[in-house]
Amino acid sequence: MQDSLIGVGPALRKARERRGVTLEAASRDTKLHVSQLEALESEDFDVLLGDVYVRGSLRTYARYLGLNADKVIGAYSKHVDDPEPPPPPAKLGRVERAIAATRIRDNQRLMVVLACLVLIGAVVFGLLSRSHSAPPPATLPTVAASPQPLDRQIEAVVVASQPVDVTVRADGVVTRYTMAAGETRTFVAADRLRLALSDGGAVHLTIDGVDEGIPGVPGRAWAKTYAFDTGGSSSPSD
C-alpha cells in the first residue's frame, strides 16, 4: 500500500460504486482479476506486473467505468515520474556554514550577471527585429493531416482451459508465466506484442476486443507477433 494515495484508486472505486458494480462483475467484464482491480483501487501498484501492465490495466478499467482514461494515466504518470525529495541536509559546523554562505553569495552574483545579459540580449534582438521587414505569411495546408491516435495499444486477453506455459514479449520486455486451468491474464504493449504458447489449443485468445478463439492446434506450440500497421491498428505477423 502506498504511504499516501494519489487519487487514482479512490476515483476508480467511487466510479464503480456509483454504477453499482461489484468487483466480481467488473472482473468478469474487463477480464482483470478481482485482486488486480483491488490493487488498482488501493493504488498498490507494486503487486502488479510492472509499469506497462499497470498503465494498460488502468486504461482498461477507467474506460469500463466511464472515466477519462488519459487523465487517469496522466495522474499515475505524474506520481511515477516525480523524483523522491532529497534528504534533509546535515547540521553544518561553523566552517561549513561560512563556506555555504560564500557559495550562496557567489551564486546570487552569478544570477544577477546572467539576468543582465539576458536583458541586454532581449534589447538587441528587439532592435534587430524592427530593422527587418515582416516575413510573408505561411501557406496553410488545404487538407488536414490525419491525427495519430494518442492512446493506441495492443491488448491480449488469454484464458487458459488447461495448464500452459506462456512467454510474452511486450515492446522488447520478455516475461514468462505458467497459467493454470481457468486462469485469465491480460497483456498490453504500446507497439509490438509477441505471444508464445507451449500448447496452442490450451487457451482462448482475444486481441484488442476481437475474439480470436483457440489460436493453435492442441498439443502443438504456437507463437504470433502483433504490431501496429501504418493505419494505426494492430495486425498479426508470424
| Local confidence band at 233 (pLDDT 50, 70, 90 cut-offs) | very low
**What's residue 221's pLDDT?**
96
Q: Any idea how long the chain is?
A: 238
Q: SS3 for 100? A: helix
User: Residues 237, 225: contact at Cβ < 8 Å?
Assistant: yes
Q: Where are the domains of the chain?
A: 8-81, 154-237
Cell digits of residue 82: 516525480
**What's residue 230's pLDDT?**
37
Taking only the tens place, the pLDDT of each residue in 69-112 is 999 999 998 877 654 555 555 555 666 666 666 676 777 777 77
Sign of the torsion angle spanned by Cα atoms 91, 97, 103, 109: positive
Taking only the tens place, the pLDDT of each residue in 116-156 is 587 777 655 565 555 555 555 545 444 444 444 545 689 99
Taking only the tens place, the pLDDT of each residue in 185-205 is 999 998 899 999 999 999 999
226 to 127, 156, 165: CA distances (angstroms)? 57, 9, 19
CATH class of 8-81: mainly alpha
Mean pLDDT is lowest, of 95-99, 128-132, 162-166, 178-182, for 128-132
Cell digits of residue 83: 523524483
Cell digits of residue 136: 510573408
* Bridge partners, residue 86, by sequence: none
Find, among 232, 212, 234, the residue nearest to 154 by Cα: 234
